[in-house]
Amino acid sequence: MILKKETNQPDKKTNAFIGVLLFLISLVLFFITVPIGFIYAFFYKLFTKGVKGIGEYSLKIAISVDQLGNVVMQHLLNLLWIKPNGYKFGNRDETISSALGRNKQLQTLTKFGLAIDWILDKIDPNHTLNSIDYYIEPSEQIIDKLAWIHIVNFEILSTRSFGKEKYYIPGGKREKNESDHAALLREIKEELQVDLIVKSLEFVGVFEAQADTHKKGTLVRMTCYSGTYLGELEAASEIEEIVWLQYKDRDKVSEVDQLIFDYLFQKGILL
């Protein structure tokens, strides 16, 4: 079971002078401390874990450099590698490969971006797709949501809100500083008037796709749990209808829910 807390905060606004000053200080510290730290770590890993230790250490450095590159080169990469409506590079917690993979899923890579993706895939098959980080801090382009997977007789519980045509797996957005469980319990209580049993919750997976009714390049990340409940299901809040859907109803749900349907169908849980 995975428990995560939403601990990220928006970047603090600062004036240009402080930003430049902090940048210069970081450069000085980088060039002074990094060589010393690298030499020490190299021999420490060599003597404690051998070649394997050096490999592990090198991989961590590679990921950090990749994240730095995603910030430093964000404007150039956004210009050359993706279409105007693509998922933007620049998230400080994400690697270039992860952002590239998200755009590959959205089909928003330019010819240049596709060429880079092809080269990476030749070196490491499905490199960009496998590099997608589903646990980076949410940003303006990633909507963080929780979902409750409840299946009975191979049918999945779904809901439809007032004024909506599509059905959605019940759940909702996390509020500030809420854990997965706290957010899910609150949303399900508000929407369906039942109490999820915390001890019964089991992690199902994290799924990500284009967000409905949002501009292209805006993703919704759905962290899913299954579990039992107390009470009787009853539509409440913005929910107009409660239904039980089968895999054949896949076209009636959102893009991210379609991915969840596919996963459950492959597992033989949803028919």
User: Are the C-beta atoms of 203 and 225 separated by less than 8 Å?
Assistant: yes
Domain boundaries, the chain: 17-131, 142-266
Quote the mean pLDDT of the chain.
90
- CA-nearest of 160, 155, 104, 157 to 127 is 104
Higher-confidence residue of 17 and 199: namely 199
Give the sign of the dihedral formed by CA 252, CA 256, CA 260, CA 263. positive
**According to the model, what pLDDT value does residue 266 have?**
96
**According to the model, what pLDDT value does residue 13 have?**
58
pTM of the model: 0.71
Helix (H, G, I), strand (E, B) or coil at 2: coil
Integer Cα distance of 131 and 63 in angstroms: 10
Q: Give me the mean pLDDT over the 160-164 stretch.
A: 93
User: Are the C-beta atoms of 3 and 180 separated by less than 8 Å?
Assistant: yes
Residue 102 banded pLDDT, cuts 50, 70, 90: very high
What's the CA dihedral at 248, 249, 251, 257 to 10 degrees?
A: -110
Q: Between β-strands 219-226 and 202-210, what pairing exists: parallel, antiparallel or unpaired?
A: antiparallel
Helix (H, G, I), strand (E, B) or coil at 173: strand
CATH fourth-level superfamily of 142-266: Nucleoside Triphosphate Pyrophosphohydrolase (3.90.79.10)
Residue 14 banded pLDDT, cuts 50, 70, 90: low
- CA-nearest of 203, 171, 169 to 188 is 171
80 Ramachandran zone, left/alpha/beta (phi>0; psi -120 to 50) = alpha
Over its C-alpha atoms, the chain yields an Rg (Å, rounded) of 22
Chain CA centroid to CA 78, Å: 19
CA distances 88 to 65, 83, 142, Å, are 18, 9, 11
